[in-house]
Amino acid sequence: MLKLFNSLSRKIEEFVPLNPPKVGVYACGPTVYDFAHIGNLRSFVMYDILRRVLEADGYEVTFVENITDIDDKIIKKAKEKNLDMAEFTKQYTEYFLEDLNKLNIKLPDVQPKATEHISLMVKYIEVLLDKGLAYAEKDGSVYFDISKFPDYGKLSGVEKRELKTGTRVLSDEYTKENIQDFALWKGVEADEFGWDSPWGKGRPGWHIECSVMSQKYLGDTLDIHAGGIDLMFPHHENEIAQSEGKTGKLFAKFFVHGEHLLVDAQKMSKSLNNFYTLKDIEEKGLPALPCRQAGGRQGFDALAYRFVKW
């Protein structure tokens, strides 16, 4: 019997799929604007272990993991480097797949790209508007109205009473202090990168892509939704609001989260500049894991990272 810690109930529960022996797993994939660091990769090792355990238990797993190939950071960096966006994201997608290969992580059964699902996202947002769960602003942006979704906060435990009524947030990433209506569609200026939509030129918010692509490939209710713990709020909370708001059904039976990789008791992150890539490990090793090898080589095989006790 497989038991998993379900972030929804905050309890260890027996895993029972909706339609055994089939199991649908959706995991939030990389935003391809830079090299992944080993803190990011920890999540992907976790997904792989989860998937292999399910397969070893005899389940027929469909594992879907998206590629976020459109967001603020991508647009900014591609512009800085004067590169075509598709060209820019293709390069980092390839680096990411190389990292997965080095860590012996199986490729997803489906690896959908956000930019290939824009028309579906537009249709999805139209349903949310029709249901009165979203509203369009004059600037061409569309927001989800969290006051219309009574269960908002059920995953992360944020309290809606702290909602700043009538306020909204355009950025995809924000903190628990900012419990506001979030962008489903971001209106852009005519000379900015975007797609035509019923609300004018724009591009999708980050959260909507995961609702749309997970449900397209796995149906309205997923057996397991996986991700890093930092995605619980706002990303997964917003995915629940969009998905359950649209279908009226449970979005995922299990939410499984991986913890942060810590460096000197702090989260490994690009913003803190305390990160290592797999290449760093191969060339220099890790300060916390002194490695003495023949010939004085400091680095070690990237695959060894998979077996490090976290």
Residues that bind Zn ion (CB under 5 A): 28, 210
3-state secondary structure 134-197: EEECCCCCEEECHHHCCCCCCCCCCCHHHCCCCCEECCCCCCCCCCCEEEEEEECCCCCCCECC
- Least distance (Å) from Zn ion to the CB of residue 191? 29
Cβ proximity to Zn ion: between 82 and 175 the closer is 175
- Least distance (Å) from Zn ion to the CB of residue 295? 43
Task: Report the Cα–Cα distance between both ends of the chain, in Å, rounded.
Answer: 25
Cβ proximity to Zn ion: between 68 and 197 the closer is 68
What does the CA dihedral 192, 194, 195, 196 come to, rounded to 10 degrees? -40
Residue bearing tokens 């966006």: 85
CA atoms within 13 Å, Cβ hemisphere of 233? 17
Question: How many angstroms separate the CA atoms of 19 and 64, rounded?
Answer: 17
Cβ proximity to Zn ion: between 197 and 242 the closer is 242
Comparing C-alpha atoms, which of 118, 89, 130 is closest to residue 203? 118
- Least distance (Å) from Zn ion to the CB of residue 108? 13
Cβ proximity to Zn ion: between 28 and 142 the closer is 28
Comparing C-alpha atoms, which of 151, 120, 112 is closest to residue 27? 112
Comparing C-alpha atoms, which of 149, 159, 182 is closest to residue 251? 149
Question: How many angstroms separate the CA atoms of 291 and 209, rounded?
Answer: 42
- Least distance (Å) from Zn ion to the CB of residue 210? 3
Comparing C-alpha atoms, which of 141, 127, 126, 153 is closest to residue 241? 153
- Least distance (Å) from Zn ion to the CB of residue 235? 5
- Least distance (Å) from Zn ion to the CB of residue 155? 13
Q: Give the Å distances, CA to CA, from 268 to 230, 265, 276.
A: 11, 9, 8
- Least distance (Å) from Zn ion to the CB of residue 72? 15
Cβ proximity to Zn ion: between 125 and 263 the closer is 125
Cβ proximity to Zn ion: between 28 and 155 the closer is 28
> How deeply is 109 buried, as exposed, middle or buried, from its count of CB atoms within 10 A (0-12, 13-18, 19+)?
middle
Cβ proximity to Zn ion: between 39 and 285 the closer is 39
Cβ proximity to Zn ion: between 102 and 235 the closer is 235
- Least distance (Å) from Zn ion to the CB of residue 300? 31
